[in-house]
A and B are shown apart, each in its own frame.
Chain A
Amino acid sequence: MQIRLRTVAPRAGEAVALPWAQGTPAPEAMAAAIAAAHFTGEAGTSLALFSPDAVILAGTGAAAAPLDFERAGGAAIAALGDASALVLDARGLQPAEAAAFAAGAMLRGAPPLAIRSVPAGKPAPRVELLTGDRPGTIPHWRAAEASARGTLFARDLVSEPANYLTPAIFATRLRSLEEHGITVKVIGPKRLRRRGFGALSAVGREAASGPRLVTLRWKGRLDARPIAFIGKGLCFDTGGISIKPAAGMEEMRADMAGAAACAGAMLALALRRSPAPAVAILAIAENSTGGDSYRPGDVLTTLSGRTVEVLDTDAEGRLVLADALHHARHHRPQAMIDLATLTGSIVTALGHHQAGLFSNDPPLAAALVAAGAAVGEPLWPMPIGVRHREDLNSDIADIKQCAPSGSGASGGRLMPDACHAAAFLREFVGGVAWAHLDIAGVEARAEADALGPKGASGFGVRLLDRLVAMRFEEER
Chain B
Amino acid sequence: MADIAFTKPALPRHGALVLLLPEEGSGGTLHEAAIAATDGRLPKALEAAGFKGKKGQTATLWAPGGGLSKIVAIGLGKPGDITAENLESLGGTAWPLIAAERESVIAGEALTPEFAARIGSGLKLRSYRFDKYRTKEKEEDKPKAERIAIATADPAKAKAAFAPLAAIAEGIFLARDLVSEPPNVLFPAEMADRCKVLEKLGVVVEIMGPKEMKKLGFGALLGVAQGSVQEARMVVMKWMGAPKPAGRGKKEAKKPLCFVGKGVTFDTGGISIKPAGGMEEMKFDMAGAGTVIGLMAALAGRKAKADVIGLVGLVENMPSGNAQRPGDVVTSYSGQTIEVINTDAEGRLVLADVLWYAQEKYDPAFMVDLATLTGAIIVALGHEHAGMFANDEALAEKLEAAGKATGELVWRMPLGDAYDKQIKSDIADMKNVGGRPGGSITAAQFIQRFVNGKPWAHLDIAGTAWAYKDVPLIPKGASAYGVRLLDRLVADHYED
Contacts and interface: CB of A to CB of B under 8 A. Distances in A.
Interface of A: 345-354, 380-383, 385-388, 391, 408-411, 413-420, 441
A416 B375 contact: no
Contacts of A386: 384
B468 A411 contact: no
Interface string B402-418: 00000001011110101
Contacts of A418: 380
Nearest to A414: B378
Given A349-B440, A350-B438, A409-B466, 11 more contacts: A345-B380, A347-B437, A349-B380, A351-B438, A353-B419, A380-B413, A383-B411, A385-B384, A410-B278, A415-B378, A415-B382
For the complex of A and B, list the 6 residue pairs with the smallest distance between their C-beta atoms, beginning with the closest: A351-B438, A349-B380, A416-B382, A351-B437, A385-B384, A414-B378
B381 A383 contact: yes
A345 B437 contact: no
Interface in B273-324: 277-278, 281
Contact of B380 (A348, A409, A410): A348
Contacts of A383: 381, 384-385, 411
B250 interface: no
B383 interface: yes
Given A345-B379, A354-B414, A416-B378, A411 B437 contact: no
Contacts of A352: 437-438
B414 A387 contact: no
Given A410-B375, A415-B379, A350 B385 contact: no
A121 to B, nearest CB: 28
Contact of A348 (B383, B414, B436): B436
Contacts of A420: 382
A350 B439 CA distance: 8
Interface residues on B, range: 20 to 34
B376 interface: yes
A381 B411 CA distance: 9
B382 A388 contact: yes
Given A345-B380, A383-B384, A385-B382, A351 B419 contact: yes
Given A353-B418, A410-B278, A410-B281, A387 B436 contact: no
B383 A409 contact: yes
Contacts of A391: 382
B93 interface: no
Contacts of A380: 413-414
B419 A419 contact: no
Contacts of B432: none
Interface of B: 277-278, 281, 375-376, 378-385, 409, 411-414, 416, 418-419, 422, 436-442, 463, 466, 468
A357 to B, nearest CB: 12
A383 B386 CA distance: 11
23 contacts: A345-B380, A347-B436, A348-B379, A348-B380, A348-B438, A349-B438, A352-B438, A353-B416, A380-B413, A380-B414, A385-B382, A387-B383, A387-B384, A409-B378, A410-B378, A411-B277, A411-B278, A414-B375, A414-B378, A414-B379, A416-B381, A417-B379, A420-B382
A420 to B, nearest CB: 8
Contact of A387 (B380, B382, B440, B466): B382
Given A351-B422, A416-B378, A385 B441 contact: no
Contact of B437 (A382, A410, A419, A441): A441
A387 B411 CA distance: 14
Contacts of A345: 379-380
Nearest to B279: A410
Contacts of B413: 349, 380
A13 to B, nearest CB: 39
Contacts of A413: 278, 375
Nearest to A419: B382
A348 B437 contact: yes
A400 B299 CA distance: 44
Contacts of B376: 348-349
A385 B381 CA distance: 9
A164 B149 CA distance: 75
A349 B383 contact: no
Contacts of A385: 381-382, 384-385, 409
B379 A350 contact: no
A350 B382 contact: no
A148 B422 CA distance: 29
A350 B414 contact: yes
A415 to B, nearest CB: 7
A396 to B, nearest CB: 21
Nearest to B385: A383
B439 A348 contact: yes
A45 to B, nearest CB: 14
Contacts of A408: 468
Given A380-B414, A385-B384, A411-B278, A351 B379 contact: no
Nearest to A380: B414
A275 B413 CA distance: 36
B381 A419 contact: yes
A387 B463 CA distance: 12
Nearest to B418: A353
